[in-house]
Amino acid sequence: MSLRHCPALLISAAGSHSGKTTLVAGMARYWRNQGLRVQVFKLGPDFIDPKFHELASGQPCIQLDLTMMGSDACHRHLHHAAGCNDLILIEGVMGLHDGVVSSAEVAIELGVPVLAIINAEAMAQTFGALALGLASYCPQLKLQQVIANRVGGEGHAQMLRNALPNNIEMVGALPRNSELSLPERHLGLVQAEEQPQLDAQLDRIAALLGDHLTLALPNPVPFFEPAPCATLARLGKPLAGKTIAYACDEAFSFIYRDNLDLLRHLGATLQPFSPLQDAAPESVDALYLPGGYPELHLDALTCNRTMRLGLRQLAYSGIPIVAECGGMLYLLESLADDKGRQAPMLGLLPGHGQLTPQLQGLGLLEAAIPDQNGQLHVIRGHCFHHSLSEIDLAPVATAHQKNSIRQEEPVYQHGRILASYVHWYFPSAPELVADWFGAAR
């Protein structure tokens, strides 16, 4: 078994909206400014937070999710990162012990120590009780450090330190400071690429952390390399010679990096394009339309007539199209924003979409989907959307939460178009994905 060692830390919290993303991005920038190479991972199927970490660290941020990706894929990513980095930071999801597979369980599985950030605003001795509960809820968990956030002053900070048990250290207290807040919208933080001042803000956040925290490199953690994936070895390069164009701009940015890596591994050449600004791609063999925020760019998408006409021509030529969530909405006849203003879309799927104030879908899902030969493949993914759509097609499959009926999403097949609200994790079913994008049979 190949082992690599690297200092590593998982940063979690007592709950969501505690400042995890700001803290992790600030720490990544702090250590990067000290000359270290930092690799950041994000727990859960998150598309937005990783962009902040990429800007902060200067290299790609990768999702880790034991349920969607499987244990081997997570260990493989960490083993690779340990071989070429000075520090690994992992941002947790929700609260430390929340979820079907919690951040605490992931930390135990990966053998990584935990640093918890606790919102200490309007709190005194309860800070110690909360820290003790987080640390002792799972006996195997390695949680020995906490950070107090939104602290009123040095007197308040000392009160919080005094409340902690002896085996838990407070490594710093962050003041109430608007610099430590990032703007949000209906699916989470406003995207990093929409904040031109963000790079300078990250430097200021890093400086604040240096002033208020005792930042020391954690101890090295051993990471092992799992056996290679037998399915990929057997598949070879079924997409060799094919060019896949994928949408990538402010309207369509929710893409798992592993998905693109898999398509390359299967032999495809990838070509990014912007439905907002470009002309339609030419001489391509397939299209990938991922999720994002098309509802925030209705005018630009509608006005780019060259793109709309070109994508229709590609669809009519019969090339495969895979569309997820916002990409599916773009294929509809029309899409309305949260104010009810309706705009025409591509008209390649019979139906209409409408943004809503309420969350309409959230969860990890899986579906058994037939390939073009009728063979079923199980593929996993995630949905998170604030829109409803009425599509005049019978679903070819239904994605659902395993062992639960709380969340279901239809999967549509219309000619060579495969569309759903689900953001698929391609490596969970590489044979099916190769079939979607036109692998030779």
Crossing angle for the helix pair 71-82 and 103-110, nearest 10 degrees?
60
Please report the pLDDT score of residue 185 as a whole number. Answer: 47
Annotation says 74 is catalytic: no
Answer whether 0.75 is exceeded by the pTM: yes
Q: Is 374 helix (H, G, I), strand (E, B) or coil?
A: coil
Give me 141's structure tokens.
């968990």
Give me 357's structure tokens.
């104030």
Please report the pLDDT score of residue 229 as a whole number. Answer: 87
Q: Is 378 helix (H, G, I), strand (E, B) or coil?
A: strand
One pLDDT digit (tens) per residue for the chain, 441 residues: 689 999 999 999 998 888 899 999 999 999 999 999 999 999 998 888 899 999 999 999 999 999 999 999 999 999 999 999 999 999 999 999 998 899 999 999 999 999 999 999 989 999 999 999 999 999 999 999 999 999 999 999 999 999 999 999 999 999 886 565 665 544 556 666 666 678 889 999 999 999 999 989 999 999 999 998 888 889 999 999 999 999 999 999 999 999 999 999 999 999 999 999 999 999 999 999 999 999 999 999 999 999 999 999 999 999 999 999 999 999 999 999 988 899 999 999 999 999 998 888 888 999 999 999 999 999 999 999 889 999 999 999 999 987 665 789 999 999 999 999 999 999 999 999 999 999 865
Q: Residue 322 is which amino acid? A: V
CA dihedral (115, 90, 102, 408) in degrees, to 10, reads 150
Please report the pLDDT score of residue 178 as a whole number. Answer: 56
Give the count of beta carbons closer than 10 Å to the beta carbon of residue 316.
Answer: 10
Q: Does domain 231-436 have CATH number 3.40.50.880?
A: yes
Q: Is 193 helix (H, G, I), strand (E, B) or coil?
A: helix
Please report the pLDDT score of residue 130 as a whole number. Answer: 97
Q: Is 307 helix (H, G, I), strand (E, B) or coil?
A: helix
Give the count of beta carbons closer than 10 Å to the beta carbon of residue 217.
Answer: 13
Helix (H) or strand (E) holding 78: helix 71-82
Residue 363's Cα: distance from chain center in Å?
13
CA distance 413 to 369: 10
Domain ranges of the chain: 3-224, 231-436
CA distance 264 to 100: 32
Helix (H) or strand (E) holding 398: strand 397-400
Angle at 421 between CA 297 and CA 327, to 5 degrees: 35
Please report the pLDDT score of residue 338 as a whole number. Answer: 86
- CA distance between the termini of the chain: 36
Inter-CA distances, 361 with 178, 297, 354, 369, 379, Å: 31, 21, 14, 20, 18
DSSP 200-254: HHHHHHHHHHHHHB---PPPEEEEEPPPPPHHHHHH--TTTT-EEEEE-SSSEEE
Superfamily of domain 3-224: P-loop containing nucleotide triphosphate hydrolases (3.40.50.300)
CA distance 90 to 24: 8
Give me 61's structure tokens.
């941020």
Q: Which residues contact 28 (CB under 8 A, 6 or more apart)?
A: 38, 40, 53, 56, 57, 89
Q: What is the CA radius of gyration of the chain?
A: 23
Give the count of beta carbons closer than 10 Å to the beta carbon of residue 219.
Answer: 11
Please report the pLDDT score of residue 198 as a whole number. Answer: 82
The catalytic position among 6, 74, 325, 383 is 325
CA distance 2 to 9: 21
Do the domains spanning 3-224 and 231-436 agree at the CATH topology level? yes
